[in-house]
Amino acid sequence: MRNRLRMRQLELLSALDHAPTLSAAAREVNLSQPAASKLLNTLSADLDVALFERAGRTLRPTAAGRALLRRAATFVGDLDRAQGELEAIGAGLVGSVSLGAGVGSCYALVPRALEHLLESAPNIAVRVREGTLDELISGLRGGRLDVIVGRLDVSGAERALVVEELYHPPTCIVCGPRHPLARASKLGWSDVIDREWILPETGTPMRNGLEALFGRVRRRPSRALIESSSIQTNVALMGQRDLLWVLSSDIAGYFAKLGLLRVLPLPRLAGPSPLVFAHLHDRGLPPAAARLVDCLKRATRDLRGAQK
């Protein structure tokens, strides 16, 4: 295999490990689809093993293909990390780390952790990539990320990942700064239930928690025309219309400091899930990534202190 495998084939296999189609994988590595197909056919012939089979218009990896995809993704990811470390050293830095972040961690936790990292280890270069859970875990397994952080349901990947809980912020009810309730000093649930709401998407933990609240007070909003979990969209919308929404307290605090939201004086609700960080069990943490994890834990202590 050392004599037969080519770097372009490895790059294509690595892209196929997470790309939905051969066309998408080919675009990712700057190849045409015919050129990508030729690379795969040549590799299969050189190794004398079937790597893919046709399923309609898509390619489906065989057992041998799946094994090679995983190895290729890990190999290319290791090369990318090595290149990042060499570039960091060449620029006078002492290391680099790639962090994958879920959206909910990008407003309070990750910025605070990076602030601590810049203060304590200014020579470490950091790459931050925001993404969905599937994207983050794929990047971790493929070696493109060292650590991931966010509200991650990693129950199905416990054997492969080392997971540690950071903190579990509660949620609160928020509104725009010009909402009639924005200046209220005391409110009860009866004051807010009949207002217009933005509801989280059906089936999400945040929506389930809100539905439980409606069940306890035996009332529901009479007007809730929008279901959205887009933070930026909802904050902008609440600046234009008198709407209520439920939001994690740490993110709500971020927007409240900017003057874009008001946190209503109501009891806090249980948060949907804790924020955690995770890394691969069999790869360990390089020194720069270990330092970043220390800073994530320090940022967690800061945020917990701010909630008291």
Residue 144: CATH number of its domain: 3.40.190.10
Say whether 293 sits in a helix, a strand or coil.
helix
Residue 79 maps to a domain: no
Residues 110 and 123 both lie in one domain: yes
Q: Are residues 162 and 288 in the same domain?
A: yes
* Residue 303 placed within a domain: yes
Could you give the CA distance from residue 214 to residue 269 in angstroms, rounded to a whole number?
12
CATH of the domain at 51: 1.10.10.10
Position 280 scores a pLDDT of: 87
User: Are 58 and 180 found together in one domain?
Assistant: no
Distance CA 106, CA 125 (A): 18
Tally of domains within the chain: 3
* Nearest residue to 128 (alpha-carbon basis) of 150, 160, 161: 150
For 60-90, what is each residue's pLDDT tens digit? 888 888 888 888 888 887 787 777 767 766 6
Q: Is residue 268 part of a domain?
A: no
What is the predicted pLDDT for the residue at 260?
95
- For position 223, which CATH number holds? 3.40.190.290
Question: In the block, which residue shows the tokens 């304590």?
Answer: 120
290 DSSP 8-state letter: H
**What pLDDT score was predicted for residue 158?**
56
Q: 62 and 206 share a domain?
A: no
In a domain? residue 88: no
Contact between 72 and 17 under an 8 Å Cβ cutoff? The reply is yes
pLDDT of residue 254: 92
Provide the domain limits for residue 51. Answer: 7-71
Q: Which of 200, 185, 164 shows the shortest CA–CA distance to 285?
A: 164
Give the chain's radius of gyration (CA, Å).
24
Are 19 and 142 in contact, with CB atoms under 8 Å apart? no
Q: What is the pLDDT of residue 294?
A: 92
Domain check: are 216 and 288 in the same one?
no
139 and 62 within one domain: no
Q: Are residues 251 and 283 in the same domain?
A: no
Whether residues 190 and 141 share a domain: the answer is no
Residue that terminates a domain, selected from 71, 102, 120: 71
Say what the pTM is: 0.67
Low-confidence residues of the chain, pLDDT below 70? Answer: 85, 88-94, 153-159, 307-308
